[in-house]
Each structure stands twice: as structure tokens, then as C-alpha cells.
Copies of this chain bind each other. A is one copy, B any other.
Amino acid sequence: QVQLTSMYGRYTEELGAYAKEEAARLREAGVRRHSVTKRARSLELLENDKGRCAKCRICTVRCQKFLISCVGEDWIFLILLGLSMALLSWLVDIGIGICLQSQKWMYVKLESNVFLQYLAWVTYPVVLITFSAGFTQILSPQAIGSGIPEIKTILRGVVLKEYLTFKTFVAKVIGLTCALGSGMPLGKESPFVHIAGLGAALLCKFMSLFGGIYERSCLPYEGHANESRNIELLSVACAVGVSCVFAAPIGGLLFSIEAMSTFFTVRNYWRGFFAATVTAFMYRILAVWNRDEVTITALMPTNFRQDFPFDLQELPAFAVLGIASGLGGALFVCLNRQIVQLIRNQKTIKKFLMKKRLLYPALVTLLVSTLTFPPGFGQFMAAKLTQMESLETLLDNETWSKQGIPEEFDNNSLSQAWKHPQVNVFVTLTLFVVMKFWMSALAMTMPVPCGAFMPVFVIGAAFGRLVGEGMAACFPDGVHSDGTIYPIEPGVYAAVGAAALSGAVTHTVSTAVVVFELTGQISHILPVMIAVILANAVAQSLQPSLYDSLIMIKKLPYLPELGWGHHEKYNICVEDIMIRDVMYITLNCCYRDLHDVLLAGHLKTLSMILLGSIERVQLQALLSLQLGRSRRLKYLRDRATAEKSVVSHPSSKDGSTMGNQEVHFQVNKVKIAEWEENQLDEQVNFDNCMIDPAPIQLVERTSLHKTHTIFSLLGLDHAYVTSIGRLIGVVSLKELQKAIEGSVAVKGVNVRPPLASFRDSGASGTIMNNENKARDLHKLWNLLSSCCSSNLPLHPSLLYPSSQLAFGPYTYSALMEEGWTHPALSPTRTEEIWVLGRGEEGWVKVPLLNKGGQNKMYRICMV
């Protein structure tokens, strides 16, 4: 260790020369962390010191070391994450509760004057929502929306770093509390998944201060392992996020797996289970400490009959409920996307809203809260109740419609809100379902942190209750044919409806488990599962899931799922979908080839016998090293000294120095061009280049099914197709996506999933057409080529290290007109900007040419 320490000492001192030598030694000596060695060194120094309090200090250092090794353990991390997220969830709950209470308080206090009452009822949520939207917009626009689509994309392997920052965390938590405190039909669940993900990322960073595995490692390949670990922790965080909203550890874990992963590591299951249990436990025990509860029970305990949970003859009703929920779920996803599309496509609306950013949420809130004003229309839809209260009443095991007599309600119970002196319970429920349905779909489009799970869950419960009350009215003595009377319990239908509708919207079946854990009863397991499965089957054949729909709207890079049972997928091979004209360089190529490849565009591989793939930046570095400033200067200096030695001999100390210099300058210019040409013709030295020698290779006959599996398993972006080592093509996410969506014609046969045509007609105009995309791309390409040929400046910072296109120049106002937004974009600025990869993936970076000539990369996002 002494030797090692001194080695490290030298390492930092004489970095340049010893770097290579050290790398080899490092490999042999195993990987030791800098900090550890530093600490070891300080310990040694202390031991050599032998001062008065040296022993004391040694002891503390040792303790510190032990603690740090403990902190490195996974389970400590998981417990910390679970506890902090549960606490946060509880605090957010309290914040929301206070907001909602004060609205109610105002409403009650102003009962004397209906107009003032209305004003208070409406202004309060408008202010909260506007604050939430403004605060989020200013602090971190990434905090807007649900968060699950982004987390899903990150888990897919795409790095979206700006989504996991401290700013986003603060914006999301405060924005969410305000948005939910307004009483709008918004959910807490999906934002909390994002918050838990943020929490995990920040906790990782925080714990890296103490060293251990959290520290960034120094070896280049190590980064990958760390990354995969981070992704594993992130997927655990998702389970924590769901778990601390519903206090449903198992359901939370399963929901997070289903909604967010394509492949799941079973070794991660244990972690998720552990963290979710800690979270749920902490979340519920906080309620006990707060004297809200006597002991730990379910969040929303029900009291359904256990010995005879349901009659077999009720099953058709449950099945119908499931199918209807499936249709409803598909409709919800479609409606939400149509609203977004409408606002985006209407140029006048868009322009107006672009100027007044906070107007849209304020208007939506105004509309929704006006309609739910309790003395007004709200009296017909139990608008007095908060979301949780209505869910509680819907799961009640009393039958509301026995004889239609409202006196049967307990006067103190919340269920009273559903009764109305004039209208029937059925009308109230129907109105509630219909109104909340479009309100939720609309509210979700507001630029505040919000989710849709909870509103959909409540709507499903109301719909289930409606069906249940209907059944109870039709069969007042139950449907059982034997002597014993088992009356129908509409509360069970509500639970089934909630699971089915939320399952249909999110395309998950785990909502069934969430319902069991939420209600604390599992005896009605079979109706719930049958309804959920039917709802999923219907919804999946009609529409993508809400999260996939949001991914498409936000144009995040994604890989669609392979449908089940489409066996045509097994017959498409990768050679049918790959791109055949791959740009490549060979090991013995010269710098001119490098130059040409870099100018021409997008791809990067080596040699026809595929030796490896190399990143674009690496090539740029090579080229700039060869033609760079230092070598250029050196050449000039050498040249100058050589000439001087020639010149200085014949004529010395002449008056013609000035003229000489001018000539020199011109000669140099010519000579530099000549030198450049020579340099370009030299063979490339790849020795110090980082070549990835084993990029993923496929064979021509690899089936689409297998390709999809490999891509999703390894989180690939692209893969090379080889035939006995010879490179013959390349496949990227885009090609795969096209093939799965069915737009690839395999030798004349257009392979499409069976129900795709139906889905397309519903989604036409919403999902960008692939053919159009390709045409756009082609246009851009031509634009770029003309740029290159006309010697327009192709700024080096634009050469983005992935296979994306660069084009420009753009004006700020043109960009904003297209619907892109970023704090850095304002119509007053005049500089030209360059856009990267726009149109191809909808994934964009803008370098801003500031006054100092520096560039900054920004991600801009569509409104």
C-alpha cells in the first residue's frame, strides 16, 4: 500500500508522461479508489506522526472507514430511500390536506353570499394552479407532467440527465403539492414515481460524498457497470414511489415493473420488495404516530362480506364491467391525446397560449372549478368531496339505491354527498363519471406536475358503483337461487371497476393487487382479475397505454412492445429492415477518409470485417490532433527556423524585414494548405483511440423477435449486421420501431398486427407518420449537404456523438413558432442557432452562440 500510495502521488504530479504506464499498473493492482488510498495515506502519516492526540485521530479515521463501508451496502441505501420517500409522501399529503381544508373553510364561512362563495371557490384553485405552473416553468420545466414516460425512457437505456437534478426535485414536490391542493382531478402517483427516482439519484450523489461504490470510478469501462447499477436502483425507486402513495408494497412493485420495464432482473425483485415494504411501513406508521390511526391497517379498509364474497352468476356482470372499462380506458387515452393535438395544431390557439403561458392552466382550472361549484352544477356530482373522500364513499358496502329512499343514509356519513333531493343516485353517478372523465383528460394537459392514475381510479370506482347499484336494483334479493339470501354489494363492483379502468388506461394488470392492498380485502380476487384481464385485452387492442401515448406526444426515443400472439413477427428478419449503405472506415485508411466521413454525416464503424465501432468525437479528436493548432504552429516554427538558417546566411540585418514578413505570411498560407493536404494523406494512427471492439452484431437471418429481445435486454441504440464477419448493414431503434409498427413491407407482404388498422384510424394525425418523417429527414439531409458544399460553417460542437443530423441556421422565433420552448429561447435574440437531430427523433439540442463565442447545449422541448 505504501508503494501504491507513492505511485498515486506520482500519478497526480507527472500526469502526462506516466499516464499509459500507470494504466497498465492500475489494471494489475486492481481497482482501488482514490479516496480510499488518500485516506490510507493520511492514516499512515498520522501513524508516523506519533503526536499527542494521534491515537485519538487514528481511531476516528478507522471508525469513519467502517461507517463508510457500511454506507456502501445496498440495504442501507434502500432503507434510507424508503424512509425519506414515505416521510415526503406524508408531508405532501399534509400539505394537500391543509390546502383542501382551507378551501372548504372559506366555502363554509362565506355561505351567506353565493357570489362571494363562488369567487372564493374558483379563485383559490386558479391561484394555486397558476403558481404551480409558473413555479415549475421557472425552476425546472422538466418537472412538468407525469414523469413516468421519462423514467420509462431512462430505464430503456436513454440518458436524460436533466430529468434527475435537484432543481427538478424541488419544482416537482412544491408544484405537485400546490396542484393537488387545488382540488383539481389530478393524481399524485405518477409524479411520485418521478420524485422517488429523483430521490434515488440525489441520495446516490449525496452518499458518494462518503465514498464507497457511489464514487465515480476511474476506469473507462467501469462506468457501464455503475450505470447499470444506477438503473437498477432507479427501477427500485419506481416501486417505492407507487408504494408510498397507496401503501401497497406488492402492488406498487408489480405496477412499477409492468408499467416501466420491458425486462426485469429477478435479483432486483428482492430489493424492490424490501424497499417498498419499508416505505409502506413508514408511511402507515406515520399515520399511527400522528394519532390518525390506532394501528397499521389498509389505507382504505373495506368491509365486504367474506364467507360468500360473490355469486358465480354475478360473473357475467363483472365481465361486462371489465369490457366497458377497457373501452373507457382506450377512450380516455385517445381523448387526452386529441386535446393535446388540437392545441398544438391550431396555430392561433398555439400562438396565443405561447405568449400567455399561464393562461391555459388558469382557464382550464376556471372551467373545471366553475362546473364543480357545489351550489351550482356540483350538487349533482358530489363535488363537495375530495378525491380520497369520494373513493372512500364509493367503496362503502352499503347499498344506496335499495328503495331509492334517501333517508336510509346515515346523516353523518360522507355518502350523504351523493344523495340529492330531486335526482336519483344513478343520475348523480352517471354525471360524476361523464364529467370527471373529460375533466381529468383535460386537466392532465395542464403544464403542472400531475398524474392521471388516481382520477381514473376514482372514475372507475364510480362506474363500478353505478353498475353495482344497477345490479342491486335489478336483483334486490341477490341472484343466488338457493334459499339463503346474499344481497349484491355495490362496493365490490366499485373496487372491480377501479382496478379495471386504471388497468385499461395504464395497460397493467397489477392494479388488481393495488386494489387488494388498498382495501385490505382479497376475497373478491377472481372478479377483479377477470375484469382487469378483459379490460386490458380490449384497451390494448385499441390504443397504446397512457404512458406510451405520452412518450409519443413528447417524442421521446422509445421502442414499442411486441404484441402477443403476432406470429408474423417471428418471420421478419433483420435483413428486411436494416440500412445497407453503412459508412465505414478501415484500419489502414488515411486522414482524408476520416475527414470525408465526418463531413458526410452520421455513421461510424470500422472496416468491412467488423473490427469495432468508434465514436464520432474520437474521430474528431484524431483529426484535430493531426491538423490541430499545436502541430500547425510547430510546423510553422520548424519551417521558420529552417528558412532562417537558410536566409540568415546570405543577407543579414537587411531593411527588407517588413516585406519579408508579408511574403512569409502569404507563403505560409499556401504552404499550410499544402501541408494540410499532405497531412490528410497520411495513414491514421488508431493507437490511442477508444474503439469499442465488440459492438453488438446480428446476422441477416436474426428474426425481428430476437432482435427486439436483444435490443430491449441490452438497452441498445443500434446494432451491426454482419455476414461471416463482413459488415453488411446497420439497424437502429428507428428501423425496429417501423418494423414493429407494421410499416415495413416484407417482400410485398405488409405485415401488420391484426388490430392495427383499427388503432391507426383512431390515432391518425396524432402519431407522426413514419413516411412523413423519412421525407422530412431527406429534406434535412439535402439542406445539410448544401450547407456543406456552400462552405457554410459547420460548427464542431454540432457534431453530436450519436447518429444524429445537424442543420441550421435557425432563428429563435422560427423555432418558437414550431412549438419548441426553453427559457433560453426568446424572440428578441438575433443570433443564428443550430439544431441537432430535429425531425428525426424529435430529440433536440440547441447550442447557443453567446457573446464570448462559447457554446451551450440545451434541450428544448415541445409545449
Contacts and interface: CB of A to CB of B under 8 A. Distances in A.
Contacts of A533: 273-274, 277
Contacts of A270: 509, 536, 564
Interface string A47-73: 000000000000000000000000011
Given A261-B266, A297-B309, A529 B249 contact: yes
A228 interface: yes
A6 interface: no
A609 B609 CA distance: 9
A526 B266 contact: no
Contacts of A221: 573, 699, 701-703
Contacts of A295: 308-312
B222 A703 contact: yes
A746 B702 CA distance: 37
A55 B154 CA distance: 59
Given A298-B523, A749-B30, A285 B257 contact: no
Contacts of A702: 221, 694
A758 interface: no
Contact of A609 (B30, B309, B521, B725): B725
Task: Specify which of A228, A277, A609 lies most central, judged by the most chain B CB atoms within 10 Å of its CB.
Answer: A277
A520 B304 CA distance: 12
A405 to B, nearest CB: 29
A288 B301 contact: no
A229 B570 contact: yes
Contacts of A312: 285, 288, 295-296
Interface in A663-710: 691-694, 697-699, 701-703, 705-706, 709-710
B523 A570 contact: no
A30 B573 CA distance: 10
Interface stretch (A199-207, A510-518, A653-661, A842-850): A510-518
A213 interface: yes
Contact of A266 (B226, B263, B612): B263
A258 interface: yes
B29 A747 contact: yes
Contacts of A170: none
Given A517-B522, A522-B516, A523-B297, A705 B266 contact: no
A276 to B, nearest CB: 9
Interface in A184-231: 212-213, 219-222, 224-226, 228-229
A321 to B, nearest CB: 16
Interface residues of A, number: 110
A30 B571 contact: yes
Nearest to A530: B277
Interface string A12-46: 00000000000000011111000000000000000
A699 B703 contact: no
A694 B714 contact: no
Nearest to A712: B265
Contacts of A212: 567
A533 B281 CA distance: 13
B609 A562 contact: no
Contacts of A213: 567, 570
Interface in A717-743: 722-725
A710 B714 CA distance: 8
Contacts of A224: 703, 706
Given A274-B533, A306-B303, A570 B226 contact: yes
Given A269-B257, A724-B612, A526 B565 contact: no
A352 interface: no
Contact of A693 (B27, B229, B722): B722
A356 interface: no
Contact of A526 (B228, B296, B612): B296
A705 B223 CA distance: 12
A108 interface: no
6 contacts: A29-B747, A229-B705, A270-B509, A277-B533, A298-B523, A516-B522
The 4 A-B residue pairs whose C-beta atoms are closest, nearest first, are A74-B565, A221-B701, A611-B725, A694-B697
